[in-house]
């Protein structure tokens, strides 16, 4: 079998490691073979590709604060001053949240983990490869020569202007520089020259420029590029990236407007529906958020994020049985995480299925790698011990929780209450003071502290 044909077959079957090995064999015989060089470059890119739309939250920096227009925005127009909504006399904003402010739903979401999962399809550019006979006349330059046990591409020797004018190699080369090498400077230079070469008529290059501007903390420049790209071509990725720009600039209403414009072009698109639901959730508008999540589930019954968020909504509206059904659906779809088993344990506890509660929490502890997640599991185990009437076990669980997370104010507050009930007033006072120092706005802690000081 022809080596090039075999390499293409391996690439289409997503066997990228074997494809890279086969391309390396071809390049050993023909070091300047552009087709093998391009295919190996694409295989290396796909092997390490991540959905950078979902990882943009990790790139946020304080420089975005310089774009704030008003220091005291009107209620409902900022993610930092959102109004808590209530449902069935239960504050929806009282749900536990991560350090980034996202509610704990039981699944990995953007901004909640260091390695968020992908919920959007990758934007991939498929290009036909030439036949074996035509490859003989496509000879590259010295920059393509790779050294053994060295870098595949010698970036310092690349002639950026030459590759920018090559429509077959420029886009794969950009993705390689951006995703594999992490060389944003050279990738942006290639994008700039390629955009000029195509006379600013290719929307794809404008989106890539916006990605580079986002990494370089230039949101306004990225906004201009994305709006220009939308004038030439409507694409779901472009709408979502522009919405993320406004979200990072603390302009949620503008982000919602962009998503609505996208839904007019792509009706009932799941990615846009979920994006809008996240925005409403950040604004503490639970009614609209759940409505959009339900619409997303109608379109895509396998959308784990929407199912988990609906389950969380039912749990905090005193419907743990319904929440348990949704979380079991997520579990049946193959999702396994400490957060999911933690939420399953809580649903079993409040549904009076005590035989499954401890096993779910045990599974959550086995899967938890983050100390903060372990702290939350032990905190919930303390509530399980209280439901069983074992105060000493509850105190032990809370102590383990504090060991894992010394800044867990709720654990200190509950420890103080338990010690107060057991007559240990000195310990209770110390824990109350610690809890108050960790979180100044805890009205319940202040009230309990006043009571114990009076005694």
Q: Which domains does the chain have, with CATH numbers?
A: 1-49 (no CATH), 59-65+75-82+157-300 (1.25.40.10), 303-364 (1.25.40.10), 370-455 (1.25.40.10)
Integer Cα distance of 313 and 88 in angstroms? 12
Give pTM, 2 decimals: 0.76
Phi and psi at residue 87, in whole multiples of 5°?
A: -145, 125
End-to-end CA distance of the chain: 88
Contact assessment for residue 74 and residue 68, using Cβ atoms and an 8 Å cutoff: no
Q: Who has greater pLDDT, 81 or 249?
A: 249
Mean pLDDT of the residues in the chain: 80
HEC profile for the chain? CCHHHHHHHHHHCCCHHHHHHHHHHHHHHCCCEHHHHHHHHHHHHHHHCCCCCCCHHHHCCHHHHHHCCCCCCCCCCCCCCCCCCEECCEEHHHCCECCCCCECCCCCCCCCCCCCCCCCCCCCCCCCCCCHHHHCCCECCHHHCCCCCCCCCCHHHCCHHHHHCCCCCHHHHHHHHHHHHCCHHHHHHHHHHHHHHCCCCCHHHHHHHHHHHHHCCCHHHHHHHHHHHHHHCCCHHHHHHHHHHHHHCCCHHHHHHHHHHHHHHCCCCHHHHHHHHHHHHHCCCHHHHHHHHHHHHHHCCCCHHHHHHHHHHHHCCCCHHHHHHHHHHHHHCCCCCHHHHHHHHHHHHHCCCHHHHHHHHHHHHHHCCCHHHHHHHHHHHHHHHHHCCCHHHHHHHHHHHHHHCCCCHHHHHHHHHHHHHCCCHHHHHHHHHHHHHHCCCCHHHHHHHHHHHHC
Instruction: Decide if pLDDT at 422 tops 50.
Output: yes
Q: What is the pLDDT of residues 94-145, one digit of tens each?
A: 455 554 444 455 555 554 544 333 333 332 333 332 233 333 333 344 444 4
Instruction: Decide if pLDDT at 236 tops 50.
Output: yes
Lowest mean pLDDT among 15-24, 65-74, 352-361: 65-74
Percent residues over pLDDT 70 in the chain: 74
Instruction: Decide if pLDDT at 361 tops 90.
Output: yes
Show the CA angle centred on residue 427, arms to residues 426 and 433, nearest 5°: 95
Q: What is the pLDDT of residues 258-286, one digit of tens each?
A: 999 999 999 999 999 999 999 999 898 99
Integer Cα distance of 193 and 205 in angstroms? 10
pLDDT of residue 206: 95
User: What is the rounded average pLDDT of the residues 235-251?
Assistant: 93
Instruction: Provide the pairing of β-strand 86-87 with 90-91.
Output: antiparallel
* CB atoms near residue 129 (< 10 Å): 19
pLDDT of residue 82: 57
Q: What is the pLDDT of residues 399-417, one digit of tens each?
A: 999 899 888 888 888 888 8
Contact assessment for residue 361 and residue 338, using Cβ atoms and an 8 Å cutoff: no
Q: What is the pLDDT of residues 279-322, one digit of tens each?
A: 999 898 999 999 999 999 999 999 999 999 999 999 989 999 99
Integer Cα distance of 322 and 309 in angstroms? 12
Instruction: Decide if pLDDT at 340 tops 60.
Output: yes
pLDDT of residue 97: 54
pLDDT of residue 355: 84
pLDDT of residue 86: 45
* Cα distances (angstroms) measured from residue 241 to each of 184, 325, 343: 18, 33, 31
Q: Who has greater pLDDT, 250 or 63?
A: 250
Integer Cα distance of 186 and 255 in angstroms? 30
Q: What is the pLDDT of residues 38-95, one digit of tens each?
A: 999 999 999 988 877 776 554 444 444 555 555 566 666 777 665 454 444 444 444 5
User: What is the rounded average pLDDT of the residues 346-359?
Assistant: 90
Integer Cα distance of 133 and 226 in angstroms? 40
User: What is the rounded average pLDDT of the residues 447-454?
Assistant: 55
pLDDT of residue 41: 92
pLDDT of residue 280: 94
pLDDT of residue 323: 93
Q: What is the pLDDT of residues 291-301, one digit of tens each?
A: 999 999 999 99
Phi and psi at residue 22, in whole multiples of 5°?
A: -65, -40
- For the record, the structure tokens of 136 come out as 């003989």
Instruction: Decide if pLDDT at 448 tops 90.
Output: no
Q: Return the residue matching tokens 């939420």.
A: 343
Q: Count the residues in the chain.
A: 455
pLDDT of residue 329: 93
Contact assessment for residue 129 and residue 12, using Cβ atoms and an 8 Å cutoff: no
Integer Cα distance of 277 and 308 in angstroms? 13
User: What is the rounded average pLDDT of the residues 218-244?
Assistant: 94
pLDDT of residue 33: 87
């Amino acid at each position: 079998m022809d080596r090039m044909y075999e390499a293409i077959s391996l690439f289409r079957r997503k066997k990228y490691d074997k494809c890279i090995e086969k391309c390396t064999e071809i390049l050993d015989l023909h070091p300047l073979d552009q087709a093998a060089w391009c295919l190996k470059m694409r295989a290396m890119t796909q092997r390490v590709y991540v959905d950078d739309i979902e990882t943009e939250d990790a790139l946020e920096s304080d420089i975005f604060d310089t774009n704030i227009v008003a220091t005291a925005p009107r209620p409902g127009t900022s993610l930092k001053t959102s109004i808590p909504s209530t449902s069935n006399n239960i504050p929806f904003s009282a749900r536990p949240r991560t350090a980034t402010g996202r509610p704990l739903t039981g699944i990995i979401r953007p901004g909640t983990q260091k390695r968020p999962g992908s919920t959007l399809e990758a934007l991939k550019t498929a290009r036909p490869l030439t036949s074996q006979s035509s490859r003989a006349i496509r000879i590259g330059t010295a920059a393509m020569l790779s050294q053994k046990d060295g870098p595949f591409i010698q970036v310092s020797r690349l002639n950026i202007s030459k590759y920018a004018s090559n429509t077959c190699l420029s886009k794969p080369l950009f993705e390689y520089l951006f995703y594999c090498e992490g060389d944003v400077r050279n990738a942006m230079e290639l994008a700039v020259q390629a955009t000029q070469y195509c006379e600013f008529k290719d929307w794809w290059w404008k989106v890539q420029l916006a990605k580079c501007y986002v990494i370089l903390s230039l949101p306004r420049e990225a906004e201009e590029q994305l709006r220009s790209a939308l004038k030439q071509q409507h694409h779901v990725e472009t709408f979502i990236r522009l919405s993320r720009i406004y979200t990072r600039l603390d302009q949620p209403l503008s982000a919602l407007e962009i998503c609505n414009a996208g839904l007019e072009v792509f009706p009932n698109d799941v990615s846009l529906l979920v994006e809008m639901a996240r925005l409403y959730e950040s604004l503490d508008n639970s009614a609209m958020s759940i409505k959009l999540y339900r619409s997303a589930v109608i379109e895509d019954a396998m959308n784990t994020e929407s199912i988990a968020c609906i389950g969380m909504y039912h749990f905090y509206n005193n419907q743990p049985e319904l929440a348990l059904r949704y979380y079991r659906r997520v579990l049946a779809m193959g999702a396994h995480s400490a957060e999911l088993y933690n939420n399953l344990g809580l649903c079993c506890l409040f549904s009076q299925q005590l035989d499954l509660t401890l096993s779910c929490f045990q599974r959550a502890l086995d899967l938890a790698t983050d100390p903060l997640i372990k702290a939350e599991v032990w905190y919930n185990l303390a509530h399980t011990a209280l439901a069983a009437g074992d105060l000493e076990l509850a105190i032990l669980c809370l102590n383990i929780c504090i060991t894992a997370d010394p800044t867990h104010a709720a654990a200190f507050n509950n420890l103080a209450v338990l010690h107060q009930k057991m007559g240990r007033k000195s310990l209770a006072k110390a824990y109350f003071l610690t809890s108050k120092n960790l979180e100044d706005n805890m009205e319940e802690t202040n009230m309990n502290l006043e009571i114990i000081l009076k005694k």
